[in-house]
Structure 1
């Protein structure tokens, strides 16, 4: 039950950020995963990889460090999954690898074959010299698609997305958005970058239960553990499931990106421990 928060501006004032993004990936804590890294077959791409056999090579979030594009995918909740569906992980991979197609064009292309996949949200970001383009597509549990939708139609936007349809956010999206806005309201400055990253990681670890939640309550198949999924940081030890990756992405007014990831990995003893990765690069405008 992943969650995404982002704040974006078409043009940032000097010393401000054009994009501030926080993502939590919720997954089985034992699912094989490689932390964020430059990909051997495509060295401009930086992001984590899913190593599960059925989804090997896919990703939930990645960035093209040269072209200024990134994308993230979140599952949309559904009571019944198609066991024969094509993995969703390559949807992000294909977008960041191909700078020749715009986010809107790519999402329209994905929508044509969305029924091959189980339900999902896809958000694409294109960081251009004088603009930021953010497009959204959903393949809905009821069938059909929502989008592509331009999420940045004004000068700036602050948004949150989890595993319910965009028009019906869970409480943790609505309440979390308030907390997120408090952080960026105080620390949206390149001079405060280190503190901003620390505060955003702390925010991503919020374990307050935003319960009861009428939207989440529709997930009857998760009973009797529904309340455990109502926080931004999810921990369901009964299922060996929870938040296993935090990602913070900052892009400043001159195109410098900081990509910070903290992910649970298995050490040599078979125990899980948090591994931090921090990479910076400049987009080649």
Structure 2
């Protein structure tokens, strides 16, 4: 479970922002993850990295700036959609990205996984790791990876993945509006969205959002209206406060349908389901100002207890595109 709210504008006023984004990553607390940092294989990209065995190298949210273009990718699963029986990760997608990340300490383990996976070639349900969708999009800057062509190729291949929503944003020259797309694979659909509007997406299809997404989007829009020209600290504090909202927006018919056993626990923006050691383990704010300065602010759990220590990272990067 995850949630994302964002506003994009390729040509803001001098005290405005090209991108205002707030997102929660909901995951099992024990899942191994690398916190936000510059990527070893792509020094124009910033984001966290999934280290879960079998999913190493993928990410849920990342941003890259190169050749005059900023690209943002975010991955949200679609809750309650069935996964094919005996589904496994496709070996090629893991091998490619792990080599590029130079994660040498894990190479022997990964290669062993590839060996075991390759023996399952008769399994018709070979699924690709969804986190690689974001990683491949933001790292590559060739024409085949621009927002139009990448999504066109992805929708043609999207049934090779478990259910997902993929948010992609491309911000370039001020004379061109920011491009925003949402691709869902159950069923395969690709939608375009206009810049200078506030959006919110979660773990359901966009036409049937969870109540927490509805309420969160309204709150996010109010923050953008009231503080969208404020300094970074003021704006980021407001956005983090939104992400930490533990009020449950319940009942929720769509969430009850998709997650009948966990629905009430998942109905808050800031999720905490203690009995399953699951919840909102990472809060992220992305701000890109009118002068192409990026602020990537992440607060993430340092251990397995959300009431314990949290690590805060604030990366500032001045892009010259």
The match for 2:115 is none
Note if contact 1:121-1:138 (Cα within 8 Å) is conserved in structure 2.
yes
Note if contact 1:187-1:193 (Cα within 8 Å) is conserved in structure 2.
no
The ranges of structure 1 where at least 4 consecutive aligned residues each deviate by more than 3 angstroms after the TM superposition are none
The match for 2:188 is 145
Quickly say closer, same or farther: Cα 1:272–1:103, change in 2 above 3 A.
farther
For residues 55 and 245 of structure 1, what CA distance do their matches in structure 2 show? 18
For residues 178 and 265 of structure 1, what CA distance do their matches in structure 2 show? 31
| 1:136 counterpart = 2:176 | no
Note if contact 1:266-1:273 (Cα within 8 Å) is conserved in structure 2.
yes
For residues 263 and 135 of structure 1, what CA distance do their matches in structure 2 show? 27
Query: Following TM superposition, by how much is the alpha carbon of 1:81 offset from its aligned partner in structure 2, in angstroms?
Result: 1.9
> How many residues of Structure 1 are paired with residues of Structure 2 in the alignment?
274
Q: Summarize the alignment of residues 190-209 of structure 1 with structure 2, pairs less than 5 Å apart.
A: 191-209=230-248
| 1:121 counterpart = 2:157 | no
For residues 227 and 180 of structure 2, what CA distance do their matches in structure 1 show? 23
| 1:48 counterpart = 2:45 | no
Q: SS at the partner of 1:71? A: strand
Query: Following TM superposition, by how much is the alpha carbon of 1:36 offset from its aligned partner in structure 2, in angstroms?
Result: 0.3
The match for 1:284 is 320
Quickly say closer, same or farther: Cα 1:214–1:45, change in 2 above 3 A.
same
For residues 32 and 118 of structure 1, what CA distance do their matches in structure 2 show? 20
For residues 227 and 245 of structure 1, what CA distance do their matches in structure 2 show? 20
The match for 1:106 is 150
Note if contact 1:26-1:242 (Cα within 8 Å) is conserved in structure 2.
yes
For residues 231 and 161 of structure 2, what CA distance do their matches in structure 1 show? 41
Show structure 2 runs of 5+ residues with no match: 89-126
Q: SS at the partner of 1:284? A: coil
The match for 2:310 is 274
Query: Following TM superposition, by how much is the alpha carbon of 1:4 offset from its aligned partner in structure 2, in angstroms?
Result: 0.5
Q: Summarize the alignment of residues 81-96 of structure 1 with structure 2, pairs less than 5 Å apart.
A: 81-82=83-84, 83-84=87-88, 85-96=127-138
For residues 42 and 9 of structure 2, what CA distance do their matches in structure 1 show? 29
Query: Following TM superposition, by how much is the alpha carbon of 1:8 offset from its aligned partner in structure 2, in angstroms?
Result: 1.8
For residues 185 and 198 of structure 1, what CA distance do their matches in structure 2 show? 15
The more displaced of 228-237 and 192-201 is 192-201
What is the CA RMSD across the aligned residues, in angstroms? 1.8
For residues 220 and 253 of structure 2, what CA distance do their matches in structure 1 show? 22
For residues 10 and 203 of structure 2, what CA distance do their matches in structure 1 show? 26
Note if contact 2:10-2:173 (Cα within 8 Å) is conserved in structure 1.
no
